[in-house]
Amino acid sequence: MPTDEAASDGGLRHREPAEVRCELLTTRDELVGAQAELGQALGRIAELEDELARHQAAVREIRGFRRTPIWAGFVAYLRLRRRLGRLRRAASAPFHR
């Protein structure tokens, strides 16, 4: 029957040192790979956060501009232009009986 010491070390005492070393190196390689993936993911998160901050700044700028008197004049200009465009199209449409 194995002792508590043997059970707590995962049976490493009964394995060959070369086998334990190989497993240790494999586990280390997996850890390094996982850390590299984590680094890439964190880098991508930072990129997306920067992009989000740029978009939020643009939205704030547009919202600020829309509160100005210039924007109100621009909206009125667009409405007038649309109305004139409809009138021109109606005037140039062929007459049907």
Any domain includes 29:
yes
Cα distance between residue 80 and residue 68, in whole Å: 19
Any domain includes 9:
no
Q: What is the pLDDT along the chain (97 residues), one digit of tens a residue?
A: 455 555 566 666 677 888 999 999 999 999 999 999 999 999 999 999 999 999 999 999 989 988 888 988 999 999 999 999 888 888 787 766 5
Predicted pLDDT at 45:
98
pTM for this model (two decimals): 0.52
Predicted pLDDT at 1:
44
Any domain includes 3:
no
Any domain includes 2:
no
Q: How many domains does the chain have?
A: 1
The domain in which residue 38 lies consists of: 14-92
- Write the DSSP assignment of the chain as a string of letters: ---HHHHHTTTGGGS-HHHHHHHHHHHHHHHHHHHHHHHHHHHHHHHHHHHHHHHHHHHHHHHHHHTSHHHHHHHHHHHHHHHHHHHHHHHHSPP--
Predicted pLDDT at 5:
54
Predicted pLDDT at 26:
95
Cα distance between residue 44 and residue 36, in whole Å: 12
Any domain includes 33:
yes
Predicted pLDDT at 11:
64
